[in-house]
Amino acid sequence: MAATTTCEICGGSGWRVIERDGISAAARCSCQQVVRAGAALLAAQIPPLYENASIDNFLLPANNPIAENAMGKVLLDVRAFIRNFPATDKPGLLFIGDPGVGKTHLAVAVLRALLERGFDGLFFDYQNLLERIRSSYDPMAGSSDREAYRSVLEAEVLLLDDLGAHRVSDWVEDTVTSIVTWRCNHRKPTLVTTNLADADAGSTVVQKSDTGRMEYRDTLGQRIGSRARSRLFEMCRVIKMPQVDDYRIRGSRSSGSLFGKGA
Ligand SMILES: Nc1ncnc2c1ncn2[C@@H]1O[C@H](COP(=O)(O)OP(=O)(O)O)[C@@H](O)[C@H]1O
Ligand SMILES: [Mg+2]
Ligand SMILES: [Zn+2]
């Protein structure tokens, strides 16, 4: 990047001279946009596992036409969100679906696309966030823990990954409610992923257990409370991920045969 190669336009100064009505003036060089986007990418703290996750390397399930079709629709929705941002009908996306179907991959892909467009963003894992907030109550906590809560409120675009992956307590419910409510009230773009079921998002709430008994799955509302849940639906367009086999398991087999076509 800029540190190793010198810009041919501005010679590294970050400024170039433009002529307007016969008068020359300084203008920011286009290379500065690249530098800014690079800095924003670092600041977003996307985990290394998802460093390269993009829409372009998201593969459609090639062995299952129904899932392929449904995933194709998901990609259309996601692409439309990116294209229209920030003038989207709702300021956020809520990815709902089973583990390993690519929710985090797609959410990161959206975040990265927005970072490239010059927006600032922040990736936060839900569990990690709660731990950081909890430890911030400790008087010995470092300032970075105290910043965690503030930073998720204020992030221009927030990706909250794996929402609800934690058992309930009143404290958790209040914290999540206040974050979601604050972001919703301020129309702050928020991308959320969750494995939890929600009947309104078309999940099957009753499923067969390994022993063959029917059992109820924990729902989003149970884990984060009904107030946070309803604000989330208000703020986010729901992206229901189709059922495909866990990509992590599939991917480790002869790769490319089951997930084939590029998106
Ligand atoms: N359709 C896909 N194409 C390419 N990689 C995928 C796809 N789905 C998932 N992955 C990869 O598989 C891993 C698990 O996906 P992830 O997004 O973490 O699933 P989820 O968040 O739904 O549990 C990640 O490394 C992700 O990049
Ligand atoms: Mg995930
Ligand atoms: Zn330059």
Query: Whole-angstrom Cα distance, residue 97 to residue 105?
Result: 12
Q: Residue 263: what pLDDT?
A: 52
261 Cβ below 6 A of ligand 1: no
One domain, residues 33 and 52: no
Query: Within its chain, how far is the Cα of 89 from the centroid?
Result: 17
**Confidence category of residue 76, pLDDT binned at 50, 70, 90:** very high
The CATH number of residue 111's host domain is: 3.40.50.300
- Helix, strand, coil shares of the chain, percent, nearest 5, are 45, 20, 35
pLDDT computed for residue 251 by the predictor:
56
Residue written as token pair 């309930």: 168
Q: Is pLDDT of 257 > 60? A: no
What lies within 8 Å, CB to CB, of 32 at 6+ separation is: 14
Residue 86 belongs to a domain: yes
pLDDT (tens digit, 9 = 90+) per residue, 198-227? 888 877 767 777 788 877 788 998 888 899
Q: Is 23 inside any structural domain?
A: yes
* Domain identity same for 137 and 25: no
Q: Is the CB of 105 under 6 A from ligand 1?
A: yes
Q: For residues 114 and 189, state if they share a domain.
A: yes
Q: Do residue 145 and residue 212 come from a single domain?
A: yes
Q: Establish if 2 belongs to a structural domain.
A: no
- What's the total number of domains in the chain? 2
Whether the CB-CB separation of 32 and 14 falls below 8 Å is answered with yes
59 lines ligand 1 (CB under 6 A): yes
Return the higher-pLDDT residue of 19 and 57. 57
Does residue 10 sit within a domain? no
pLDDT value, residue 118: 85
29 in any annotated domain: yes
User: Where does the pLDDT of residue 252 fall: very low under 50, low under 70, confident under 90, or very high at 90 and above?
Assistant: very low
Please tell me the predicted confidence (pLDDT) of residue 156.
Answer: 96
pLDDT in tens, 101-121: 999 999 999 999 999 888 999
199, 238 contact by CB (below 8 A): no
Query: How confident is the model at residue 1, as a pLDDT?
Result: 44
Question: Which residue is closest in CA terms to ligand 1's atom 15?
Answer: 102
Evaluate: CB of 194 within 6 angstroms of ligand 1.
no
Structure confidence at residue 49 (pLDDT): 94
Atom of ligand 1 nearest to the CA of 99: 23
Distance of CA 249 to the CA centre of its chain: 22
- Please choose, from the candidates 69, 83, 82, the residue with its C-alpha nearest in 3D space to the C-alpha of residue 263: 69
91 and 215 in a single domain? The answer is yes
CA of 146 to the centre of ligand 1 (A): 31
Task: For residue 126, give the ligand nearest its CA.
Answer: 2
Buried b / exposed e along 33-58 (16+ C-beta atoms within 10 A)? eeeebeebbeebebeeebeebbbeeb
Highest mean pLDDT among 91-100, 136-145, 221-230: 91-100
**Which residue has a Cα nearest atom 8 of ligand 1?**
102
For residues 25 and 106, membership in a common domain is answered with no
Mean pLDDT taken over the chain: 86
CB 258 within 8 A of CB 250: yes
Burial classification of residue 159, based on how many CB atoms lie within 10 Å of its CB (0-12 exposed, 13-18 middle, 19 or more buried): buried
pLDDT at 72 over 50: yes
Q: Are residues 65 and 37 in the same domain?
A: no
* CA–CA dist 54, 49 (Å, integer): 12
User: What spacing in Å lies between the alpha carbon of 105 and ligand 1's midpoint?
Assistant: 5
Least confidently predicted of 25-34, 179-188, 191-200:
25-34
Indicate if the pLDDT at residue 262 is higher than 70. Answer: no
Measured in degrees and rounded to the nearest 5, phi and psi for residue 15 equal: -125, 150
pLDDT for res 259: 62
- Residue 254 pLDDT grade (very low, low, confident, very high; cuts 50, 70, 90): very low
> Does 248 sit in the ligand 1 pocket, CB within 6 Å?
yes
pLDDT category of residue 97 using cuts at 50, 70 and 90: very high
| Confidence (pLDDT) at 66 | 93
Are 104 and 222 within one domain? Answer: yes
The single residue listed with the structure tokens 């899932």 is 67
- What pLDDT score was predicted for residue 260? 59
End-to-end CA distance of the chain: 28
Quick count: other Cβ atoms within 10 Å of Cβ 27? 13
Residues 203 and 239 in one domain: yes
The pLDDT value recorded for residue 77 is 97
Q: Is the pLDDT of residue 233 over 50?
A: yes
For residues 131 and 36, membership in a common domain is answered with no
Q: Give yes or no: residues 240 and 113 share one domain.
A: yes
Q: Are residues 196 and 207 in the same domain?
A: yes
Average pLDDT over residues 219-245: 92
- Is 102's C-beta closer than 6 angstroms to any atom of ligand 1? yes
Q: Rounded mean pLDDT of 146-157?
A: 91
Type of residue found at 67: A
Q: What percent of the chain has pLDDT over 70?
A: 90
One-letter amino acid at 224 equals I
CA pair distance 188, 179, nearest whole angstrom: 11
Q: Which domain holds residue 30?
A: 15-43
The answer to whether residue 8 sits within a structural domain is no
